[in-house]
Structure 1
């Protein structure tokens, strides 16, 4: 549900772009997101701030995660939660601590080996810069950037939008995109988004993630089939299955970025998913990672 401030802003922007015909649709489908943008190259003079790329700050008691063949995973990001909470309009994240994101080899594009680590605030007291192993799964070196967070409204993108609603005789998709850019204040410094819509062509990412998180089964590119399999997991409860898909959240989407050095296949997007139930419980042991590239 949109906050009062965001609702007022939405109504103002919709009126400015003359999209009143789709206002109720926007109210129902816009997600409250958090965007992360590049602030400055990390100097490591200070420990424990949100960072994308580079090296993590880890306590000595935390082992560097490895993939199934024993190769050290590649570090992607650390997010200090007290920096994000002021922008977490939906109050989904833990109030304090740090989230770390690591990845194994990014092939195939689904079920990618990865690790999300959550450390509580007390464990961060002993955190120090931890240099990446000489060889990691991706064999790439990423430049570390300090990041800024901001709260955003995330409307459905091209894979999720209902074209029949937003387009009419006077409005085309390009005009809808302009409205979207205004709503989420997108800029060239953006590196990542939390809780928005993943980049995709088919609008089925949450089906794939929910199916894997609940059953461990591989998605066969049929939303109906995925719902049936999830319903079977819940002893035939189709309503629960639909709710589980709805409650499968985009924990983090990392865009390709030349400055950092991220390039997910053909300049795509790396995506991490989590069940809302696990997120609210502070359980990051059960997540899903996939990749989208056009």
Structure 2
């Protein structure tokens, strides 16, 4: 359903552009359901990893940690995405920057995105075997984004371009702040409209596809070679007390991006990653 609150924020002349930006995504909720199986869609914990694949490690030989995995067979179907198989996201928790090279996002030494079209748990590492990979590094400081494991539950939702991003400039032919300054010449009114926009829950903070959110700026703006890449997966800091906690630095957000052609071809080898925080 069209988000009626947006109509009061965007000027009438931009309502059609707003409507045209509507895009379907999978909103993800996180649930603490105790210990989860190796094939479940989840964040944190240990996931499915076949023994005939080389487990990803950083430049010091330390194992990367599962950030999240998506089992498409238990998620709603989404255009251009696989309908089966498992997509896993690994990052370097031994690194204070969590494996992200902000100057060169194509440097994937500190993170890996792996797609397994077919999954056979009998041919995969057990949870105990995966725990053994980390045991000899137990004395080394880590910077975990997720300390526990939480099940991911997906539901379809419509999203709209409303945040400062390359999609905003493409949809409204204007940079975010310039857009509101031109639409509302009164500086106080422009600021008020932007605050209204920031305060409403337009889309899920955790999603597959859709439009990205940032606490700082869209990295694609300063790296135009990636301007056509779209959001693949987003995981935001979440704090539900003792039930669910996901922390990127100071209440940050992690984004994974992919070129649309690679997504259609189910080629996740060129996926890149960014995170930011306050």
Instruction: Select which of 68, 74, 85 maps to 1:97.
Output: 85
Structure in which a larger fraction of residues adopt helix:
1
2:227 corresponds to which residue? Answer: 245
Give unpaired runs (5+ residues) of structure 2.
Answer: 169-175
Which residue in the other structure is 1:151 paired with? 156
Match of 2:238 among 243, 251, 257: 257
Does the 8 Å contact 1:14/1:20 carry over to 2?
no
Does 1:70 pair with 2:61?
yes
Query: Of 237, 252, 255, which aligns to 1:268?
Result: 252
Equivalent position of 2:220 in the other structure:
206
> How far apart, CA to CA, are the structure 2 residues paired with 1:93 and 1:277?
11
Q: Structure 1 pair 106/281, CA: closer, same or farther in 2 (3 Å)? A: farther
- Cα drift, residue 165 of structure 1: 5.0
1:173 partner SS: helix
Is 1:195 aligned to 2:210, yes or no? yes
Is 1:25 the equivalent of 2:22? no
- Structure-2 change in CA distance of 1:274 and 1:106 (3 Å): farther
How far apart, CA to CA, are the structure 1 residues paired with 2:46 and 2:16? 44
SS of equivalent to 1:206: helix
Secondary structure of the structure 2 residue equivalent to 1:100: strand
The partner residue of 1:288 within 247, 267, 272 is: 272
CA positional deviation for 1:114? 0.4
* 1:263–1:109 distance in 2 versus 1, CA, 3 Å: farther
Unaligned runs of 5+ in 1: 1-8, 208-220, 231-243
C-alpha distance in 1, partners of 2:209/2:122? 26
SS state of the match for residue 227, structure 2?
helix
1:157, CA displacement in angstroms? 4.5
Structure 1 position 262, deviation (Å): 3.3
* Aligned match for 1:120, one of 107, 117, 120: 117
Displacement, 1:274? 1.4
8 Å CA contact retained: 1:55, 1:129: no
Aligned residues: 241
Paired with 1:128 and 1:59, the residues of 2 have a C-alpha distance of 6
- Cα distance in structure 2, aligned partners of 1:20 and 1:278: 36
CA RMSD of aligned residues (A): 3.1
The answer to whether the 8 Å contact 1:53/1:260 transfers is: no
Aligned to 2:196: 175
Give the TM-score of the pair, scaled to structure 1.
0.69
Partners of 1:261 and 1:39 lie apart in 2 by 10
Deviations 1:150-208 (A, max 9, x none): 22233334423535656547771233345x52x42x4xxx54553322314434x235x
Q: Deviations over 1:46-99 (max 9, x none)?
A: 44120111111333333321012211111111110122343x2xx121110001
2: CA distance, partners of 1:69 / 1:36: 33
Aligned equivalents of 1:191, 1:176: Cα separation in 2: 18
Normalising by the residue count of structure 2, what TM-score does the alignment of the two structures yield?
0.72
> In 2 relative to 1, CA 13–156 (structure 1 residues): closer, same or farther, beyond 3 Å?
same
